[in-house]
Amino acid sequence: MTSILLALVIGAAFGAVLDRVGASNPTIINKMLNLTDLSLAKAILLAIGTGSVLMFGGQMLGLVDVGHMSVKTAYVGVFIGGLLLGAGWAIAGYCPGTGVVAAASGRKDALFFIAGGLLGAAAYMVTYPSWKASGLLDKIAGGKVTLGTIPGAKYEGLTALPGDILGIVLGLAFIAVAFALPERLVGQPAQAQPAE
Amino acid sequence: MPLNWKTGGLLLGLVFFAAVLLVKPIGVSTQFVILDGIIADAVNPELVTQTDEGYTSTNAYLAKSGGKYAKSVANPLNYSFVFVIAMMIGGFVSAMARGGIPREDRSVPALWRANFGGSPAKRYAAAFLGGFIVLYGARLAGGCTSGHMMSGMMQTALSGYIFAAGAFLAAIPVSMMMFKKEA
């Protein structure tokens, strides 16, 4: 029951924040992906960095349970699936989480995204044996690995570097990139940027 | 107007941290499979069955990893499925609190309208096609933008970096080709 309550609280917070950062607005997604407005990219980088620093910092202080980590397997299909997801993300302007939030916020096109998504997931369920047989789902580089070796984690490290310190360093790097990235990479700004 | 990126990014980071502090990293795309399973199992109750050790399915994907997806299909009131329902509640309340989505944006978003016109049918077709590709790709990859990219890179998972490389390598050129006019 506690876990259901946590699902309600954290899930609702996640949905609300996705709405407020504009991640469930296809216009904002595609302005990021066509590199004309990188505000959302900066927010995402800052979020990954903040999450990383807090999680690994918390682990080092003994406040965060290392056992809560869940690292996914690396295999060639992760890259191919990433390419597919990226293409569809640009076409629709939604990814799975933001599509669900967009539909709930009143966007009708997101309902079509979800319908397509349910069919796409079903198509994968049916074709899964062929992917499995192809070997493209076989783990590479050790499978469930992190970049460094995290003390107390059940996952192996790609390198022997201390994984918690590396996590904090990379987290800070994500935050630095978030601040360094210009608002816009392509084309001319419509008007002069106000000084901050 | 969306929050500025510093406030938005910080809040988003805090949510991802809260999830891993209290339960486990955030992920969404698996729940499309679970909902498919729930629907299919309602039509054909033979799909998911209980065994001595837990649950299994006649579908190899639902049966994999000791039937963990089959178990979720049989018990929809689990953390991850309720999490996605709660995301919808949070998204709805947040959108209503800021006055809702502008009427013309509800069927055809502004940037799409600037590039492809105001036909809802065309937009719906693209959203449907995009949804198919996104979820097929997410299941092949074993996760989506939330699970692989955000949760994965936050944990320094190699798979998260591989996924993000693939996603942006495709998303940026496709978006640049499709959306040349600005809204």
Give the ipTM of the model, two decimals please. 0.97
For position A186, what pLDDT does the model report?
Answer: 84
Put simply, the answer to whether A82 touches B93 (Cβ < 8 Å) is no
What confidence tier does B183 reach under pLDDT thresholds 50, 70, 90? confident
Give me the helix-helix angle, B79-97 and A96-104, nearest 10°: 50
pLDDT > 70 in chain A, percent: 95
Residues of A in contact with B112 (CB under 8 A): 26-27, 30, 93
For position A188, what pLDDT does the model report?
Answer: 65
d(CA A27, CA B181): 12
Residue B175: pLDDT above 60?
yes
Is the distance from CB of A145 to CB of A159 less than 8 angstroms?
no
What is the sign, positive or negative, of the torsion defined by CA atoms of A111, A114, A118, A123?
positive
Is the distance from CB of B5 to CB of A17 less than 8 angstroms?
no
Closest CA to B28 of B90, B97, B74: B90
Closest CA to B9 of A184, A30, A189, A176: A176
For position B53, what pLDDT does the model report?
Answer: 86
List all residues 6 or more positions away from A9 whose beta carbon is below 8 Å from its beta carbon.
B86
Task: Name which of A109, A172, A183, A186 to mutate to probe chain B: the one with the most chain B Cβ atoms within 10 A of its Cβ.
Answer: A109
CA A14 vs. chain centroid, Å, equals 13
